[in-house]
């Protein structure tokens, strides 16, 4: 199969996903779409409610994924989550803080938190979103004081992390801070499963938007994602059966 | 939605769609436009590094000014940052300064990162021990058993060497078949999640930037 056909097929898949999401969102705009329960998000909602009541802070660690790299999707998911958490906590006088290991993501996080501060009628604080380091360990070392010293009660880790995630999770444990964590990196997922209070596995990282502030399009996109997964399972099983039968 | 926010979404969607289409459909004009936008993005990302470092400097200077806890470390960070920056800038004009930068990396950066890696080993063992206390379920038990099997199948024992069945059969089967299959499943999930996340940003359902 040459590159042109492969490219067109891939583009067709993207179009199919986009159209299915739009159509499903339109058809179910009134009745709504029920999503399966992800314990981490259910517990996060409760914990965010407690943050609003007790006046502590929420810390979002956005990892090291850049915007022009394959890891950008997890960084975008983290930024979208920051926006939502900012909206939810905007009734308090303690805006969330964000730590990043990549410069462009830091700028976007600053822009998001500036908007949250404006809504809270507070002066924007340029240090609420900060670049803590550009290498994995310097990033972790710079983010640990934020967890420890800034009256944080929840740390969300969402983005691209490596094994350094273990240091951040350990800091959460020591400071008695609830950790909700997910990454697109396989090694980090293993570390997060062992160390996080509430781990997010696989594509659960990208579902934050739909679970925290659902819009029809967000919920529909998750249903389409599940549909695509079943399609891929069917293709894999079919391929194996054809191979065993000697037809492929 | 305010006009400024709507404008951001329209710009992001139009540019994103053009780059996406140019990636898949190899029409000469489309590819040129797509490459041009990608180059702009790379330039902006490079400039963002400077802004990010400036942000780091501001955060620590504010920490020092307000005499917050750990402001001594902030002073050290600022001094080290400025020294390294100055050395890095003068190297093209004065190449004899290159060994100084090399010294900074070898004497400070490398040992500190190696120490953190050593701490990481202890942290990972501690996390694994605490896992059953945190979440006692079948998945946690399978996770820990897998870790133990892989470790036992990898290490060499005094007088015994490696354990024959474990290192020759069980460990490769667990690592390459069971764990390998699981890892591919997770990666497919991540890829699907990335695709859907990207589309949500293109449609403006998720807009991870400022503007109301």
Task: Band the pLDDT of A176: cuts 50, 70, 90.
Answer: very high
Task: Band the pLDDT of B160: cuts 50, 70, 90.
Answer: confident
pLDDT of B192 reads 92
pLDDT of B1 reads 62
Rounded to a whole number, what is the distance in Å from the CA of B205 to chain A's nearest CA? 7
For chain B, the domain total comes to 2
Which of B193, B201, B202 to probe the A interface (max A CBs under 10 A)? B193
What are the pLDDT digits (tens) for B26-53? 888 888 998 999 899 889 888 888 888 8
Complex confidence, ipTM: 0.89
Residues B152 and B174 placed together within one structural domain of the fold: yes
Residues B169 and B181 placed together within one structural domain of the fold: yes
pLDDT of B63 reads 87
Residue A208, pLDDT above cutoff 90:
no
Whether B186 maps to a domain, the answer reads yes
Give the structural domain span for B129.
95-136
What are the pLDDT digits (tens) for B50-78? 888 888 898 889 888 988 887 888 899 99
pLDDT of B210 reads 61
What are the pLDDT digits (tens) for A17-50? 999 999 998 888 878 788 888 889 889 888 888 8
Residues B154 and B196 placed together within one structural domain of the fold: yes
Task: Band the pLDDT of A227: cuts 50, 70, 90.
Answer: very high
Task: Select from B34, B15, B21 the least CA-distant residue to B202.
Answer: B15
Which of B24, B136, B211 to probe the A interface (max A CBs under 10 A)? B24
| Whole-number percent of chain A with pLDDT over 90 | 44
Angle between the N-to-C axes of helices A136-149 and B110-134, in degrees from 0 to 180, rounded to the nearest 10: 60
Residues B143 and B130 placed together within one structural domain of the fold: no
pLDDT of A1 reads 62
Query: Which 8-state DSSP code applies to residue A158?
Result: E
Query: Which residue from B minimizes the CA distance to A115?
Result: B210
**Contact criterion met (CB < 8 Å) for B194 and A131:** no
Q: Is B194 on the interface with A (CB under 8 A)?
A: yes
The pLDDT of B102-128, averaged and rounded, is: 91
What are the pLDDT digits (tens) for B179-212? 999 999 999 999 999 999 988 888 888 877 765 5
Residues B126 and B159 placed together within one structural domain of the fold: no
The structure tokens listed for A107 are: 């700028």
What part of B 118-137 touches A (C-beta under 8 Å)? 119-120, 123-124, 126-128, 130-131, 134
pLDDT of A36 reads 84
What are the pLDDT digits (tens) for A108-128? 999 888 888 887 777 778 788
Residues B161 and B104 placed together within one structural domain of the fold: no
pLDDT of A59 reads 94
pLDDT of B2 reads 67
**Contact criterion met (CB < 8 Å) for A104 and B187:** no
Rounded Cα distance, B136 and B131, in Å? 8
- What does pLDDT average to over chain A? 88
Residues B148 and B199 placed together within one structural domain of the fold: yes
Q: Is B111 on the interface with A (CB under 8 A)?
A: no
Residues B148 and B109 placed together within one structural domain of the fold: no
Within 8 A of B41 by CB-CB distance, chain A residues are 67-68
Residues B169 and B185 placed together within one structural domain of the fold: yes
Query: Which residue from B minimizes the CA distance to A10?
Result: B24
Whether B104 maps to a domain, the answer reads yes
User: How far from B173 is each of A199, A241, B128, B163, B179, CA to CA, in Å?
Assistant: 27, 22, 22, 15, 9
The tokens 């996060």 sit on which residue? A44
Higher pLDDT, A111 or B160: A111
Residues B151 and B115 placed together within one structural domain of the fold: no
What are the pLDDT digits (tens) for A95-106? 889 999 999 999
Within 8 A of B130 by CB-CB distance, chain A residues are 173
Whether B150 maps to a domain, the answer reads yes
Which member of A68, A126, A194 has the closest CB to residue B128? A194
pTM above 0.80, yes or no: yes
pLDDT of A118 reads 81
Residue B131, pLDDT above cutoff 80:
yes
The domain boundary, picked from B115, B136, B157, lies at B136
Whether B10 maps to a domain, the answer reads no
The pLDDT of A152-161, averaged and rounded, is: 93
The domain boundary, picked from B106, B136, B166, lies at B136
pLDDT of A63 reads 92
Whether B17 maps to a domain, the answer reads no
- What does pLDDT average to over chain B? 87
Rounded Cα distance, B62 and B66, in Å? 6
Helices (H), chain A: 3-27, 39-54, 72-88, 103-119, 136-149, 165-174, 186-195, 208-212, 216-244
Residues B145 and B131 placed together within one structural domain of the fold: no
Whether B200 maps to a domain, the answer reads yes
**Contact criterion met (CB < 8 Å) for A203 and B209:** no
**Contact criterion met (CB < 8 Å) for B49 and A134:** yes
Query: Which residue from B minimizes the CA distance to A75?
Result: B208
Within 8 A of A141 by CB-CB distance, chain B residues are 116
Q: Is B14 on the interface with A (CB under 8 A)?
A: no
Residues B119 and B157 placed together within one structural domain of the fold: no
Residue B5, pLDDT above cutoff 80:
no
Bridge partners of A70, per DSSP, are none
Query: Which residue from A minimizes the CA distance to B119?
Result: A167
Whether B152 maps to a domain, the answer reads yes
Q: Is B55 on the interface with A (CB under 8 A)?
A: yes
Whether B90 maps to a domain, the answer reads no
């Amino acid at each position: 199969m040459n590159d042109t056909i492969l490219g067109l097929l891939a583009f067709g898949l993207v179009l199919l996903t986009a159209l299915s999401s739009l159509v499903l969102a339109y058809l179910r705009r009134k009745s709504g779409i029920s999503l399966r329960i992800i314990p981490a998000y259910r517990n996060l909602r409760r914990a965010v409610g407690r943050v609003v009541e007790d006046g502590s802070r929420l810390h979002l660690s956005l990892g090291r994924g850049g915007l022009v790299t394959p890891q950008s999707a997890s960084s975008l998911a983290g930024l979208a989550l920051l926006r939502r958490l900012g909206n939810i906590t905007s009734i308090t006088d303690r805006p969330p803080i964000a730590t990043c290991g990549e410069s462009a993501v830091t700028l976007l996080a600053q822009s998001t938190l500036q908007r949250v501060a404006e809504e809270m009628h507070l002066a924007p604080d340029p240090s609420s979103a900060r670049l803590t380091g550009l290498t994995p360990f310097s990033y972790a070392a710079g983010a640990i004081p934020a967890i420890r010293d800034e009256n944080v009660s929840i740390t969300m880790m969402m983005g691209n992390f490596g094994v350094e995630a273990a240091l951040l999770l350990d800091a959460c444990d020591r400071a008695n801070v609830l950790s909700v964590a997910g990454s697109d990196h396989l090694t980090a997922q293993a570390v997060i499963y062992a160390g996080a209070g509430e781990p997010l596995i696989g594509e659960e990282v990208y579902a934050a938007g739909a679970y925290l502030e659902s819009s029809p399009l967000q919920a529909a996109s998750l249903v389409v994602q599940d549909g695509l997964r079943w399609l891929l399972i069917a293709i894999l099983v079919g391929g194996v059966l054809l191979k065993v039968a000697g037809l492929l | 939605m305010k006009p400024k926010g709507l404008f951001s979404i329209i710009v992001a969607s139009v540019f994103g769609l053009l780059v996406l289409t140019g990636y898949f459909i190899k029409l000469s004009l489309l590819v040129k436009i797509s490459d041009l936008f990608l180059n702009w993005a790379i330039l902006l990302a490079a400039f963002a590094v400077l802004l990010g470092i400036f942000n780091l400097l501001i955060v620590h200077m504010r920490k020092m000014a307000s005499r917050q806890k750990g402001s001594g470390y902030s002073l050290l960070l600022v001094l080290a940052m400025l020294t390294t920056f100055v050395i890095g800038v003068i190297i093209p004009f004065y190449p004899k300064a290159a060994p100084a930068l090399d010294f900074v990396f070898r004497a400070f950066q490398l040992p500190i990162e190696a120490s953190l890696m050593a701490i990481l080993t202890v942290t990972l063992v501690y996390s694994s021990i605490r896992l059953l206390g945190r979440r006692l379920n079948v998945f946690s038990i399978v996770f820990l058993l897998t870790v133990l099997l892989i470790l036992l199948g990898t290490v060499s024992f005094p007088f015994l060497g490696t354990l024959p069945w474990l290192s020759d059969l069980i460990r490769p089967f667990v690592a390459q078949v069971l764990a390998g299959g699981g890892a591919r499943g997770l990666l497919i999930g991540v890829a699907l999640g990335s695709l859907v996340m990207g589309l949500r940003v293109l449609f403006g359902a998720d807009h991870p930037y400022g503007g109301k």
